[in-house]
Chains A and B, each alone.
Chain A
Amino acid sequence: MKPIAHLLDADAIIAGLSAQRVGKRIVVLPEVDSTNTFALKLAERPDVDGIVVFAERQTSGRGRLGRVWHCPNGAGLMFTVLLREPAGATTPAAWMMLAGFAVVRGIVDSTDVVPSLRWPNDVYVGDRKLAGILVESRREDDGVETIAIGVGVNCLQQAGHFPPEVRDRAVSLDMLSNAPIDRQSVACSVLATLDRSLLELVHRDESRLIELWQTHSADIGARVELQSDGHTYRGRIIDIHPRDGLLVQLDDGGRRQFDPAVTTRA
């Protein structure tokens, strides 16, 4: 058996891909403030579509709503996929759903772990968080929208690596798997899934995207508690949509839609 590399190698990742678009170029940084921030700086150049930026360590990795994403050096899989799309053609929520699907399918294809998707941007195993996704977009001067899809997957952490306040709510692939985890093969598998399913999204087949997402989620019908515009809402999830967000049947009788950009899930 080939020994597993302890640090990511850009050449090995490229060799493991047959990319149409995602992963045509790979950058591996030993340390960066945030892969999304770094990628968005690159985005001023027109030839960066499909580039993937990995980092072994992020000094200010971010989650949604300004939360900090902490990861020990060499333990996680943290990368940003940069795409350039015609402005206004898609929504960040659609990219979030696509990325979520790619992360779960990529993990299922490359390990013995079976995670599930939790709206809007989290990947869970049981009640513990395994991975998170942060999509940021920016309108460029040339009428193009740059989309940075940031992914963080806990791979090699042991329980003691997690800060005490999240220790009982976080988990890594290594903690769940019966076999050694090869971060490079997980990376290749996620990127290959993203590359393949991008075509479906680019064809604007939203119903197919929803179907793909829901295949890997237990959210429809699930009870949920949400915070939005200073209020707490409780109810049952009826539908999830890349444009309209989350549709919830509230306990007090009404129905309400929740925009992922401003909603926190308990």
Chain B
Amino acid sequence: MDIEEIKTLTDLMVENDLSEIVIRDGEKRILLRRRGAHVEHAPMPPIMAMTPAAAPVPAAPQAAPAAAPSGSAAEAGLDSINSPMVGTFYTASDPESPPFVKPGDKVTPDTVVCIIEAMKVFNEIKAEKSGTIVSVDVANAAPVEFGQVLMKIRPD
């Protein structure tokens, strides 16, 4: 994938008001995230992260939610939601449904944030803390290991 293709994709994201595109290119997994979707001002440049398909997506710096104070110390004070088991990660209860949570969503300890299929069982995973989801660090339907970071959260 070259820079021209990425530009084309970025234009597509702006045109369709998408905040995120995940592309698999052989063994590479490319995540494009765009700030300011649904906002009128000009979009910020996308952030790109490349990882091997099997590895967790690194924390792409994420647009701070509108209500949160702006600042460069975005990673400071972040907590994570980790996988309590080995299995397959799902963002939604079925392919047609919207994701349980997306970056910017407020969660409470009882909020279901994802499903992990493990040992023939679909396990609803709860946030177990209050805060704002900052990033979803694993692609839908990706395998996860015990303790792997699934999401970053800014605690209340």
Contacts and interface: CB of A to CB of B under 8 A. Distances in A.
Contacts of B142: 160
B27 to A, nearest CB: 6
Interface string A156-169: 11111101100000
A180 interface: yes
Given A161-B143, A174-B119, A73 B86 contact: yes
Contacts of B27: 164
Contacts of B147: 73-74
B50 to A, nearest CB: 16
Interface in A35-63: 56
A258 to B, nearest CB: 35
16 contacts: A72-B145, A72-B146, A73-B148, A74-B146, A75-B86, A156-B87, A156-B118, A157-B143, A160-B88, A161-B86, A161-B143, A161-B145, A163-B54, A164-B27, A174-B119, A180-B120
Contacts of B145: 72-75, 161
Interface of B: 27, 53-54, 84-88, 118-121, 142-143, 145-148
A179 B119 CA distance: 8
A161 B27 CA distance: 13
B interface secondary structure, majority: loop
Contacts of B85: 6, 74, 156
Given A73-B146, A74-B146, A157 B86 contact: yes
Interface in A122-168: 156-161, 163-164
A7 interface: yes
Contact of A72 (B53, B86, B119, B120): B86
A interface secondary structure, majority: loop
Of B53, B120, B146, the most chain A CB neighbours within 10 A belong to: B146
B58 to A, nearest CB: 17
B101 to A, nearest CB: 22
B54 A160 contact: yes
A181 B87 CA distance: 12
B145 to A, nearest CB: 4
Nearest to A172: B86
A158 B143 contact: yes
B137 to A, nearest CB: 16
Of B27, B87, B148, the most chain A CB neighbours within 10 A belong to: B87
Interface string A71-87: 01111000000000000
B119 to A, nearest CB: 4
A75 B88 contact: no
A180 B118 CA distance: 8
A72 B84 contact: no
A4 interface: yes
A73 B118 CA distance: 14
Nearest to A177: B120
Of B27, B88, B145, B148, the most chain A CB neighbours within 10 A belong to: B145
A57 B30 CA distance: 27
A230 to B, nearest CB: 32
A75 B54 contact: no
Contacts of A156: 85-87, 118-119
